[in-house]
Amino acid sequence: MKVLLLYPEFPDTFWSFKHALKFIRKKASLPPLGLLTVAAMLPEDWARRLVDVNVRKLRQNDLDWADVVFISGMIAQQASARELIARCRAAGKTIVAGGPLFTLGHEQFPEVDHFVLNEAEATLPEFLRDFQRHTARRVYASPLFPDIRQTPPPRWELADLPRYAAMSVQFSRGCPFDCEFCNITAMFGHRPRTKTTAQVIAELDGLRRAGWIGAVFFVDDNFIGNKRALKEELLPALIQWQHGGRGTPFFTEASINLADDEELMRLMVEAGFNQVFVGIETPEEAGLAECNKRQNQKRNLVADVKRIQRAGLEVQGGFIVGFDSDTPTIFARQIEFIQKSGIVTAMVGLLQAIPGTKLHQRLNLEGRLTGQTTGNNLDGTTNFIPRMNRETLREGYRSLMGRLYAPGPYYRRIRTFLREYQRPKISSSLNWRSFLAFLQANLRLGIFGRERFHYWGLLLWTFFRRPTLFPMAVTFSIYGHHFRKTCRVLGL
Ligand code: B12
Ligand code: SF4
């Protein structure tokens, strides 16, 4: 059996980092970990080929080669997924689909032959058994949250690693919290399930063997969901592992209560973590209460962010506007918060209702849903009737994004951050790509860019005040270019 593993293209959005990746001659941020994991669960004698359309085109000979196509994706990739499915159909291939896009809405893909939904650990073995007996059903789903201590290491050799900016590994699935808009708990449950330390180390060793020396993203929904396992097992083992190698920078996602645990932050930094994405959502207590973001309530969120930054972890923040309790003052409040906290990469989205979330259920009951989500809450659209006037919300969002990423405030935010930040213990080693990126940045941002005065101002300031953070200043400048371009593409 020859299996073609297909990963659809991401649209040009904030998270694609498309315009920044060009500077370092990379094609995509991360490889499709779900498909690489599924590849490892297929029978040993099956041949496998991965085509991630974000890094290379799907060719006719890929389709001619394949007996069956396994396609994955998230909602944001649905347009490309539909195109790929149509091509596979036209080529007469059997199509098997799985991953978040299909788990949350398989009914919308009548052309697909088999859906293997939820976590493959729970559904794939039964499908494979039936498929080999030619008795496979159309849909395989499971309410179970499987033990991931049996999950095999991803088949890295199928991916063209040098084309990606970073690699990903997963330690845990699930999150103990219950935010109304989030579908993580519906998909992965409340009890964080963890892999064993030995599994994680084996995955990292596999990456090293495959020649990877760059950054690694721990794609956990909330890395600190099980603090005990981290402090007693995983982090000490990672510290040990780093000593045996050249130093791999890690980044991840965590909830704000990370700021309460000095020991945990210290261990994370020692283990090589230098960046963490935190869902802050809103500085307004009413908004936090409305979406049940308990862990963010009644705190000084700016002070929390600064504490994490001072520990040596850059904070990237997720923010939302469009809560029922939001009034038109929210736009200025968000900007003020983000500027003060020095969160350079601030992903502000309009609230969208994703199927499977409590928010979706509530808005459905209230008769306020207007259509399907685009799956990308940063594209300036909503799929429900907001309490605020729709035009006020859209305009407010547009102007918020414009002001946040305009060169003046953006470069000021970088300085606010660099003043606070501790130099990371482990960071990406500089190589010819970094050097080329620096030259390109000088040309595109420093000579032709509208931000040129801000750019040189920042570089000079960093050179004299925080010289060890100079590479970060260049990286942030390149990100700013990407964010501004994306705002233009999205008409923000
Ligand atoms: C890494 C990640 C990203 C990376 C993607 C990189 C990549 N190449 O994959 C980046 C940073 C680009 C990203 C971006 C976004 N993401 Co994202 N992301 C994740 C994250 C944290 C981890 C994904 C992962 O690697 N998981 C580990 C693997 C092992 O799990 P998996 O992919 O689910 O695969 C398992 C099963 O689903 C199944 N499976 C998967 N594929 C297939 C295929 C077949 C054939 C079969 C049988 C089974 C199967 O088997 C696997 C093993 O169990 C998830 C959260 C999560 N916990 O998964 C969110 C998640 C996938 N992202 C999400 C969202 C919303 C986004 C954004 C839209 C965010 C935004 N607001 O802009 C953007 C969209 C991208 C864009 N450019 O527009 C949502 C998706 C919701 C949905 N239903 O589609 C998730 C679930 C998070 C959430 N809060 O809800 N993301
Ligand atoms: S803390 Fe993050 S992952 Fe957990 S439920 Fe809230 S938004 Fe989802």
In sequence order, the β-bridge partners of residue 400 are: none
**Taking a C-beta distance cutoff of 8 angstroms, is the pair 176, 193 a contact?**
no
Task: Compute the distance between CA of residue 146 and CA of residue 118 in angstroms, rounded to an integer.
Answer: 10
Assess whether the C-beta atom of 121 lies below 6 angstroms from ligand 1.
yes
Q: Cβ(279) to ligand 2 under 6 A? A: yes
Largest distance between two CA atoms of the chain: 69
Check if 472 has its Cβ closer than 6 Å to any atom of ligand 2: no
pLDDT at res. 245: 67
Ligand nearest to the CA of 189: 2
Q: Which of 137, 133, 1, 134 is nearest to 67 (CA)?
A: 1
Q: Which residues contact 350 (CB under 8 A, 6 or more apart)?
A: 320, 321, 322, 377, 378, 380, 381, 382, 393, 394, 397
Q: Give me ligand 2 centre to Cα 279, in Å.
A: 7
Q: Verify whether ligand 1 is closer than 6 Å to residue 74 (CB atom).
A: yes
Residue type, 238: L
**C-alpha of residue 177 to centroid of ligand 2, in Å:** 6
Cβ atoms of 72 and 98 closer than 8 Å: yes
Global pTM exceeds 0.85: yes
Q: For atom 6 of ligand 2, which residue has the closest CA?
A: 179
| Ligand 2 atom, smallest distance to 221 CA | 3
pLDDT tens, the chain, 492 aa long: 999 999 999 998 888 899 999 999 999 999 999 999 999 999 999 999 999 999 999 999 999 999 999 999 999 999 999 999 999 999 999 999 999 999 988 999 999 999 999 999 999 999 999 999 999 999 999 999 999 999 999 999 999 999 999 999 999 999 999 999 998 988 899 999 999 999 999 999 999 999 998 999 999 999 999 999 999 999 999 999 998 766 899 999 999 999 999 999 999 999 999 999 999 999 999 999 999 999 999 999 999 999 999 999 999 999 999 999 999 999 999 999 999 999 999 999 999 999 889 999 999 999 999 988 887 777 888 999 999 999 999 999 999 999 999 999 999 999 999 999 988 878 777 888 899 999 999 999 999 999 999 999 999 999 999 999 999 999 999 999 999 999 888 877
* Residue ID of nearest Cα to ligand 2 atom 3: 221
Query: Which pLDDT score is estimated for 490?
Result: 80
| CA-to-CA separations, 411 to 61, 167, 289, 417, 475, in angstroms, rounded | 47, 28, 32, 10, 12
Rounded distance, CA 242 to CA 208, Å?
Answer: 11
- Computed from CA positions of residues 58, 434, 249, 201, in that sequence, does the dihedral angle turn out positive or negative? positive
With DSSP H G I counted as helix, E B as strand and the rest as coil, what are the percentages for the chain, rounded to 5? Answer: 50, 15, 35
Question: How many Å lie between the centroid of ligand 1 and the Cα of residue 72?
Answer: 9
- From the CA of 279, the nearest ligand is 2
CB-CB contact of 47 with 3 (8 Å): yes
Distance CA 194, CA 232 (A): 13
Q: Give residue 282's pLDDT.
A: 98
287 lines ligand 1 (CB under 6 A): no
Residue (of 110, 217, 203, 222) closest to 165 by Cα position: 217
State the ligand closest to the CA atom of 296.
2
DSSP three-state, residue 274: strand
Q: What is the pLDDT of residue 374?
A: 83
**Which one, of 353, 330, 334, lies nearest residue 343 by Cα?**
334
Pocket-testing residue among 172, 175, 299, ligand 2, by greatest number of atoms within 8 A of Cβ? 175
CB neighbour class for 443 (10 Å; exposed up to 12, middle 13-18, buried from 19) = exposed
User: Which ligand is closest to the CA of 178, given by its number?
Assistant: 2
The ligand 2 atom nearest the CA atom of 281: 7
**Residue 291 in contact with ligand 2 by CB distance below 6 A:** no
Pick from 50, 74, 175 the residue to mutate for probing ligand 1's pocket: most ligand atoms within 8 Å of its CB.
74
DSSP class of 60: H
Residues 6+ apart with CB under 8 A from 477: 411, 414, 441, 445, 451, 455, 458, 459
Give, in degrees to the nearest 5, the angle at Cα 48 between 198 and 206.
Answer: 25
CB distance 255 to ligand 2 below 6 Å: yes
| pLDDT confidence of residue 277 | 98
Query: Relative to the alpha carbon of 281, which ligand is closest?
Result: 2
Is residue 262 a contact partner of residue 255, using CB atoms and an 8 Å limit? no
Atom of ligand 1 nearest to the CA of 124: 47
CA distances from 173 to 41, 225, 357, 471 (A): 18, 9, 17, 33
Nearest CA to ligand 1 atom 10: 15
Give SS3 for 275: strand
Q: Give the integer Cα–Cα distance in Å for 302 and 93.
A: 53
CA distances from 18 to 291, 298, 466, 479, 481 (A): 31, 37, 28, 10, 10
Angle between helices 470-489 and 407-420 (to 10 degrees): 150
Residue among 255, 278, 359 whose CB has most ligand 2 atoms within 8 A, to mutate: 255
How far, in Å, from the CA of 180 to the mean position of ligand 2?
Answer: 9
Joined together, the tokens standing for residue 84 give 């790929």
Contact 40, 57 (CB under 8 A): no
Tell me if 314 CB under 6 Å of ligand 1: no
**Which helix H or strand E contains 50, and what residues bound it?**
strand 47-52
Top mutation candidate among 179, 292, 316, 352 for ligand 2, by most atoms within 8 Å of CB: 179
